[in-house]
Amino acid sequence: MVNRSRRPRRARLLAIPLAAIGLVLGMTHPALADNPTSTVVDSTRGGGMSVGLTFDDGPNPPDTLRLLGVLREHHVKAVFCLWGDHVRQHPEVVRRIVADGHTLCNHGMHHDDMAAWPAQKIRADLLETSAAIRAAVPGAHIPYFRAPYGSWGQTPTVAADLGMQALGWRLAVGDWDPPGTAELIRRLREGITPGAVVLLHDGGGDRSQTVDAVAAVIPALRSEGWHLSLPARRG
């Protein structure tokens, strides 16, 4: 989601004890309101033996471009949660993401913690981010929003009002502090559960280990009967 010195405080608190047993789990988010569109989803639309790959903090050449090559080779579609500042720096990479048929997610303009923000300020940030994405790709469809640091506050409701589903995760493998490709592979293989959305990163630092791990894990999962899916949407 960002340089890992700024990695989500809440996610880090969860990660420390779990990392000791080899995997880092993300938060499973309950409904934040009766309106189903303001629920934070963390499961795939297919359920069962499916898993959804999501990538935060890009676009970030060259890692994003190499990741796109891996996904293309294995015919996998993923969700890219885009950081607005990075979108403005690398609009051509956003165009590549869309051209390859992947799904876009608004990840905030400056990767700020919005947990305590009033709704009006959140709305302005999300609108600015979506505008930056659409400046790169006119008319781009942006069906998801993911809060930086997993700090939700009022963001799911505001995102729903703007037509975006709040997107959480069930598994975060801690690639913001790269532990080595072999360790990332192990955390993915041991941590993935049926229907899980997985949080990974293509930006916010050197993500070459993440790309290498994804390249190894996709064929291994498929050989065991898993299929790669997109996250659910509600409402």
87 within a domain of the structure (yes/no): yes
Sign of the four-CA dihedral 55, 230, 16, 184? negative
Query: Residue 171's domain spans which residues?
Result: 4-228
129 within a domain of the structure (yes/no): yes
Total structural domains within the chain: 1
233 within a domain of the structure (yes/no): no
Torsion of CA 204, 108, 110, 9, to 10 degrees: -60
Instruction: Calculate what percentage of the chain has a pLDDT beyond 90.
Output: 82
Contacts made by residues 216-222, CB under 8 angstroms, sequence distance 24+: 216/181, 216/185, 217/185, 217/188, 217/189, 218/70, 218/74, 218/76, 219/74, 220/189, 221/51, 221/192, 222/74
217 within a domain of the structure (yes/no): yes
235 within a domain of the structure (yes/no): no
* 57, 86, 201, 212: the active-site residue: 201
pLDDT reported for residue 31? 35
User: Is 227 noted as a catalytic residue in this protein?
Assistant: no
pLDDT reported for residue 38? 74
* 42, 56, 57, 175: the active-site residue: 56
234 within a domain of the structure (yes/no): no
User: Is 201 noted as a catalytic residue in this protein?
Assistant: yes
pLDDT reported for residue 20? 30
pLDDT reported for residue 234? 80
pLDDT reported for residue 235? 55
192 within a domain of the structure (yes/no): yes
List the chain residues with pLDDT less than 70: 1-37, 235
pLDDT reported for residue 35? 53
**Domain containing residue 126: CATH number:** 3.20.20.370
